Amino acid sequence: MNASPADQRRLVDVADLDARIRRAEHTRGNPPQAARVKELVARRAELSHELSTRLGARDDLRTELARIESDVALVDARRTRDAERLAASSNVKEAQGLESELASLARRKSDLEDGELEVMERLEAADAAVAEQEALIATTNDEGAALSAEARRVIAEADAVIEASARDRAAVAETVPADLLALYDRIVTRSAGAALLTARTCGGCRMVLAGTDLQQLRQAAEDTVVTCPECGCILVRTEESGL
């Protein structure tokens, strides 16, 4: 196929715009923040599971503390009742029994209060553990929200690049002969499509051409459409090709 050097050069512009569109499409589908956001989602699930465990432990302690407080209230009520009975009793034996029971109730209350203090200390630690876990989740959520917002911005920018590049591509493609553009469209599915040959190096695959290949290019007419022997893209020759 033959095409003027100017038409071939415009084909490189089309290839550059196509490459820009492909990069933007890749960015749109895979924003750089996506991997970290995925990690944060998994991390949040782990933190939430641990929070559930800590909340369960704290609830158990609250239940235990409520039970002890109820027992203390019962002991206090019984002590009050026994003290009133003792004050009103004139029976020595009954009074001795009440005094003995009051002493036992005092020891029981002391034991309950010791247990209550221990549970309150454990509950304080459990509250701190829950708060710590909630803070970790909040930090994770904040980072995830910031990254998600940044990803949306990146995607919006990629959309803008795709739209502008597609518009420019259409304008440039209109100036390229139909048969040359059709050849490019077939080749671009498996290579860069078209690229400059610079310093004997293909701009598509970055391979330095061998001497025999360069000799064939030197012998080809300037309007002959040639391709890279390595990647198959259309090679556009200029004064900087090194031929």
Written as tens digits, the pLDDT of the chain (243 aa) is 899 999 999 999 999 999 999 999 999 999 999 999 999 999 999 999 999 999 999 999 999 999 999 999 999 999 999 888 888 877 878 878 888 898 999 999 999 999 999 999 999 999 999 999 999 999 999 999 999 999 999 999 999 999 999 999 999 999 999 999 999 999 999 999 999 999 999 999 999 999 898 899 899 999 999 999 999 999 999 999 887
Q: Which domain holds residue 145?
A: 28-160
Contact 14, 231 (CB under 8 A): no
The predicted pLDDT at position 93 comes to 84
Do the domain assignments include residue 166? Answer: no
What whole-number distance in Å separates Cα of residue 81 and Cα of residue 60? 32
Question: Into how many domains does the chain fold?
Answer: 2
Give 68: exposed, middle or buried? Use CB within 10 Å, 0-12, 13-18, 19+: buried
Task: Say yes or no: 155 and 195 in one domain.
Answer: no
Buried b / exposed e over 173-190, threshold 16 CB at 10 Å, is beebbeebbebbeebbee
Task: Say yes or no: 224 and 204 in one domain.
Answer: yes
Do the domain assignments include residue 190? Answer: yes
Do the domain assignments include residue 71? Answer: yes
Contact 180, 3 (CB under 8 A): yes
The predicted pLDDT at position 89 comes to 79
pTM higher than 0.85, yes or no? no
Task: Say yes or no: 20 and 102 in one domain.
Answer: no
Task: Say yes or no: 16 and 32 in one domain.
Answer: no
Strand partners, 241: none
Task: Say yes or no: 110 and 187 in one domain.
Answer: no
Do the domain assignments include residue 56? Answer: yes
The residues, any chain, with a CB within 8 Å of residue 217's CB and separated by 6 or more, are: 197, 209, 226, 235, 237, 241, 243
**Domain stop point among 103, 130, 160:** 160
Do the domain assignments include residue 243? Answer: no
The predicted pLDDT at position 90 comes to 77
Residue type, position 29, single letter: G
Task: Say yes or no: 14 and 125 in one domain.
Answer: no
Task: Say yes or no: 127 and 191 in one domain.
Answer: no
In three-state secondary structure terms, 10 is helix
The predicted pLDDT at position 187 comes to 94
What sign has the CA pseudo-torsion 48, 50, 51, 55? Answer: positive
CA dihedral 105→110→116→118, nearest 10 degrees, is: -150
Task: Say yes or no: 69 and 116 in one domain.
Answer: yes
Do the domain assignments include residue 167? Answer: no
Do the domain assignments include residue 82? Answer: yes
**Domain stop point among 134, 160, 186:** 160
**Helix H or strand E segment including 235:** strand 234-237
Task: Say yes or no: 178 and 122 in one domain.
Answer: no
Task: Say yes or no: 53 and 156 in one domain.
Answer: yes
